Amino acid sequence: MSDKERSELQEIEPSAPARRLRADASRNREKLVEIAGHAFAERGGDASLEEIARQAGVGIGTLYRHFPTREHLVEVVYRREVEALCAAAEELAQHQPPDVALAEWMQRFVDYIAAKRGMANSLRILFDANSEVFANTAGMVASALQGLVDAAVADGSIRSDIDSSDVLHALSGIYSAPDTPDWRERSRRLVSLLMDGLRWGSAKAKAERPAHLSG
């Protein structure tokens, strides 16, 4: 094999150390994004990048190599949160009855909103900068919710006189709720009440109602 052929082969098939380096870098990046998502949800804008790096088991220099600014990190975390919420809708729909899938997804929506609230300042900066993340994720959450609502309506386990956009509007209201220590617990209770309202008057609820209460 000539030196030129050997060189071309090395470009096509990187050495084992190079592959390990890329694999390690990829794992570090994924870990940073995962830890950051939890940090933004729990501590909001006060989440420290240094603490995120420490919890991910890397130095702050590694974080900045992957994400030069907080907004670069937030952009990736936000996309991951949206994708995870939509993936949860598909998974729940496959393994739970339609109304249970919807109820559990709505509770997960609270965690999604918690992370989004924690990234609010950076998201505004990204929005003003015309970040593509918003165009790339537009409609994904609404579409995931619509699938769950449509399945539950068809199943007769929630009322049929509602639209998924109404449900999303009600859910999104928790975003602007006062940031109190019990915000998440209070939001979960409100979501449970909303789900109770969706079940009330459904075909299944009417069928299960005692005869003397029907009519």
Residue 18: which domain range? 1-68
How large is the average pLDDT for residues 121-136?
A: 93
* pLDDT value at residue 13: 43
Q: How far apart are CA 84 and CA 86, in angstroms?
A: 5
Domain boundary among 42, 68, 94: 68
Q: Closest by alpha carbon to 175, among 131, 109, 126?
A: 109
With a cut of 70, say whether residue 17 has pLDDT above it.
no
Instruction: Count up the domains in the chain and report the number.
Output: 2
| In a shared domain, residues 88 and 187 | yes
Higher pLDDT, 89 or 181: 89
pTM, full prediction: 0.83
| In a shared domain, residues 30 and 132 | no
In this structure, what CATH number is given to the domain that contains residue 155? 1.10.357.10
**96-to-99, 104, 156 alpha-carbon distances in Å:** 8, 9, 15
| In a shared domain, residues 106 and 209 | yes
Q: What is the pLDDT of residues 39-80, one digit of tens each?
A: 999 988 888 999 999 999 999 999 999 999 999 999 999 999
| In a shared domain, residues 193 and 108 | yes
| In a shared domain, residues 52 and 82 | no
Tokens of 144: 């995931």
Domain boundary among 45, 68, 91: 68
| In a shared domain, residues 64 and 141 | no
| In a shared domain, residues 112 and 44 | no
With a cut of 60, say whether residue 20 has pLDDT above it.
no
